[in-house]
Homo-oligomer: A and B are copies of this chain.
Amino acid sequence: MKKSLGAQTLVYPTPVFVVGSYSPDGRPNAMTAAWGGICCSAPPCVAVSIRKARQTYANILEQKAFTVNIPSERYVREADYFGIVSGKRTDKIKAAGLTTTKSELVNAPIIAEFPLVLECRLLHTFELGAHTQFVGEILDVKAEEAMLGKGGGPDIEKVKPLLYAPDDSMGYYAVGKFVARAFSAGRELKK
């Protein structure tokens, strides 16, 4: 029997995306967003939703570019900090003890210490209410070489990304055990 819990933003899992952007004066900023995800395969696109009050909002509109940086579990403290402090008055990246390099493809910073980054060119801006959804075309994905698996791509068990549970726990969780392979596990149900 299902119980009604009301209209709320509760879904499992949500990602822990650290959105990188430059302010108009060229200062790198980082903001953590759980509202986002891949939204199109061709062109490859990722969506992130940002409130207007955020420095990141102004930065993306100005630069027409952003990065999505994926922190490893060990950077949970830094990722959380990027979500609770505004970049308007604080150099958050410096305060967190992290460093950035400039993307060669778009005008946005890459967090050097994080294992995976998507470099995005702003394609669409959708006003949804409290949040504005920015859809970025993924021009490249870059990963630390130590995070690559046998197939040549990144290995989630090496990257050790976080996920966020927007429930009473307000918890960041690690990725758990491999359960099954997609496009395979369900084949036995095909008649």
Contact = CB atoms under 8 A, between A and B. Distances in A.
Interface of A: 1-15, 17, 34-47, 49, 68, 70, 73, 76-85, 90, 95-96, 110, 116-118, 123-124, 126, 128-131, 133, 135, 137-145, 148-156, 159, 161-191
Contacts of A137: 7
8 nearest A-B pairs in the assembled complex, by CB-CB distance: A81-B186, A151-B168, A80-B186, A37-B37, A176-B176, A174-B176, A12-B161, A40-B128
Copies assembled = 2
B39 A49 contact: yes
A56 B141 CA distance: 30
Nearest to A126: B126
Contact of A46 (B11, B78, B141, B155): B11
A82 B190 CA distance: 10
A170 B183 contact: yes
A80 B121 CA distance: 32
A169 B38 CA distance: 18
19 contacts: A5-B141, A8-B44, A13-B13, A14-B38, A39-B133, A43-B129, A80-B180, A84-B187, A96-B189, A123-B128, A124-B128, A149-B168, A153-B167, A156-B167, A156-B173, A162-B179, A163-B175, A173-B178, A175-B176
